[in-house]
Amino acid sequence: MKNLNSVFAAYMIGWAVFFVFYLSVAKRTSALREEVERLKNSLKPGK
Amino acid sequence: MMWKRAIGGGAVLALVGMSAWANFFIAPTERTMGLIQRIFYFHAASAWAGMTAFSVCFVASLLYVWRRLQKWDSLAVSAAEVGLAFITVVLITGPIWAHPVWGIWWTWDARLTSTFVLWLLYLSYLLLRTLIEEPDRRALLSALFGIFAFLDVPLVFGAIRWWRTQHPAPVIMGGPGSGLEPTMRMVFFFSVFAMHALMALLIVERYQLEKLRTEFDVVRREAEAL
Amino acid sequence: MSLLSNAGALLGKELRTEFRSRELLTTTMVFILVIIVLFSFTFDPTSSESRRFGPGLLWLAFLFAASLMLQPCFLREQTNDTLSALRLSVDDPFAIFLAKLCANTLFLLFTELLMLPLFAVLYNVSILPAFHWLLLVLFLGSMGVSLAGTALSAISAQARMRELLLPLLLLPLLTPILVASTEVTVGLLDRNPYMQWKGVGFLATFDLVFLTVLWLFGEYLLEE
């Protein structure tokens, strides 16, 4: 089938963009969640 | 809460998968372009979802200027980032379509050119945010720029389209004359729906991150105060 | 009307400040001249080529020059915190914007009108037949540039990397001005000049939209 590569590439690259975006957000979220927990814990014993 | 998010995510994934399946197996093959035309469902649906995301950014910006609540700023930046992701996909899939059909990657076609400017505008919006440190100032100034940018968009599209009527060039994905046959139209609108669902999911995820960041700032300020 | 008289007084101040030193105007004009000269190296300026490429390059030169000229607009108010004084002196903060808007439009128009004959000579295009229409396009285009530029200048003055930020924010926003002004100017510099009212319509719409936006949101740009 003519142009199957191009159609395939378009869909794959498109989904890759969304996937990378989602992964980046998820990674930052879990990293930040850890930071917040760590900070909260460091506050409690001090008080 | 986590369950709701997981179910929502799964539903969106299913929708996107189904729309892709429909794009390939339910939509009939287009007469002149053949297989390559199927990129259209993905490309155009992403464009619509991107514009919706930017509309959300616009409304959130207006609400922030009016109400000055942090959540509106968080929504605005989330919607802008997600919108930019969708528009990036539009700008990538456009040339991938153009190359087999026209033999060139880019034709400065009216819609794609305007989309490029749109992409630059919201990239500038995000860049502006990184250059202002104070959160309230950043929220207000970026909200104002967000309002200017969104109002500029119809002018950009209109002016470039008028200019292109004076200087015609190859049109990517068919001009205003090319209509959609009924089955194609159904498949297209299902793609639009699926892309909007994906947009909503991504905005919600990004918004949660922003909310967490605000909480982090508060806790960190407490820690520094000690 | 208090708004107009306030704006008028502030406009007088803006003009007096600039004409005392004239540094903004002279620097802008020299910059436009430099761009015009440099552009001549990028294509062969025969009469027909100049008519094709000239207007676009001219408006690009104006846009680049404006994005530099508009930098000091609010920056110079930061040095002695004169902005607070300005805000106290008027009831409606829009008066401050109106004054700066008019001043910037006038400065831009002034430099453009001085550069136009030079451009005509260097690129062999005739500007006289449709001069009055050219004036209209220059006015509407400059106003558009000034409207967006003044607003964005207020924003970028409060951010880092402001010298790069202002052009970065301004130039994409001014796409409609560039497209419409260039296209109308092409028609007016043609061997048989013709007017494209649709382009003028776009310019006028842009100006109206951004004037309204500035009127509605201007005060927030000046918030402390």
* Interface B:C, ≥3 CB–CB pairs < 8 Å: yes
Give B143's pLDDT tier (boundaries 50, 70, 90): very high
Please list every residue in chain C whose beta carbon sits closer than 8 Å to the beta carbon of residue B87. none
pLDDT of residue B1: 66
H-assigned helices in C44-161: 47-69, 72-79, 82-89, 94-123, 131-156
d(CA B45, CA B31): 21
DSSP C6-29: HHHHHHHHHHHHHHHH-HHHHHHH
Percent of chain A surpassing pLDDT 70: 94
Cβ within 8 Å, pair A32-B92: no
Contact between B116 and B51 (Cβ < 8 Å): no
Contact between C99 and C62 (Cβ < 8 Å): no
CB pairs under 8 A between B and C: 81
Torsions phi, psi of B205, nearest 5? -60, -45
Residue whose token pair is 């409060």? C158
Widest distance between CA atoms in chain A: 70
- Chains with 3 or more CB pairs closer than 8 angstroms to C? B
Q: Is the pLDDT of residue B132 over 80?
A: yes
Give A42's pLDDT tier (boundaries 50, 70, 90): confident
For chain C, residues with pLDDT lower than 50 are none
What confidence tens digit (pLDDT) does each residue in B1-57 have? 678 888 989 999 999 999 998 888 888 888 777 888 888 999 999 999 999 999 999
* Interface A:C, ≥3 CB–CB pairs < 8 Å: no
Decide: helix, strand or coil at residue C216. helix
Give B101's pLDDT tier (boundaries 50, 70, 90): confident
Cβ within 8 Å, pair A22-B205: yes
- A24 and B CB contact within 8 Å: no
- CA-based nearest residue in chain C for residue B124: C169
Show Cβ contacts of residue B69 under 8 Å, excluding neighbours closer than 6 positions.
Answer: B63
Of B137, B152, B156, the CB nearest to C158: B137
Counting Cα atoms < 13 Å in the Cβ hemisphere of B155 gives: 28
Cβ within 8 Å, pair B39-A43: no
Positive or negative: CA dihedral C50, C53, C56, C57: negative
Please list every residue in chain B whose beta carbon sits closer than 8 Å to the beta carbon of residue C185. none
Contact between B107 and B95 (Cβ < 8 Å): no
DSSP label of B28 = P
d(CA C29, CA C36): 11
Cβ within 8 Å, pair A46-B43: no
- B106 and C CB contact within 8 Å: no
**Structure tokens given for C161:** 């990397």
Average pLDDT along chain B: 91
Please list every residue in chain A whose beta carbon sits closer than 8 Å to the beta carbon of residue B42. 10-11, 14
What confidence tens digit (pLDDT) does each residue in C157-186 have? 999 998 899 999 999 999 999 999 999 999
Counting Cα atoms < 13 Å in the Cβ hemisphere of B183 gives: 10
Rounded to two decimals, the ipTM of the complex is 0.92
DSSP label of B29 = P
Question: Interface of chain B against chain A, CB under 8 Å?
Answer: 16, 20, 34-36, 38-39, 42-43, 46, 81-82, 85, 88-89, 92-93, 96-97, 99-100, 198, 202, 205-206, 208-209, 212-213, 215-216, 219-220, 222-223, 226
Positive or negative: CA dihedral C210, C213, C215, C221: negative
Please measure the distance between the N-terminal and C-terminal CA atoms of chain B and give it in whole angstroms: 33
pLDDT of residue B218: 86
- B65 and C CB contact within 8 Å: yes
What confidence tens digit (pLDDT) does each residue in B43-96 have? 999 999 999 999 999 999 999 999 999 999 999 999 999 999 999 999 999 999
Contact between B187 and B27 (Cβ < 8 Å): yes
Residue (of C184, C180, C98, C183) closest to C147 by Cα position: C98
- CA-based nearest residue in chain B for residue C163: B131
H-assigned helices in chain B: 2-21, 39-67, 70-102, 110-130, 135-166, 182-225
Domain boundaries, chain C: 2-221
CA angle B94, B97, B99 (to 5 degrees): 105
Show Cβ contacts of residue B212 under 8 Å, excluding neighbours closer than 6 positions.
Answer: A29, A32, A33, A36
**Taking the mean position of all CA atoms in its chain, how far away is CA B217?**
28
Positive or negative: CA dihedral C5, C7, C11, C17: positive
d(CA B97, CA B120): 22
Give B107's pLDDT tier (boundaries 50, 70, 90): confident
- Compare B195 and B169 and report the one with higher pLDDT: B195
- CA-based nearest residue in chain B for residue A8: B39
What confidence tens digit (pLDDT) does each residue in B184-193 have? 888 999 999 9
d(CA B186, CA C21): 66
**Structure tokens given for B223:** 């820690």
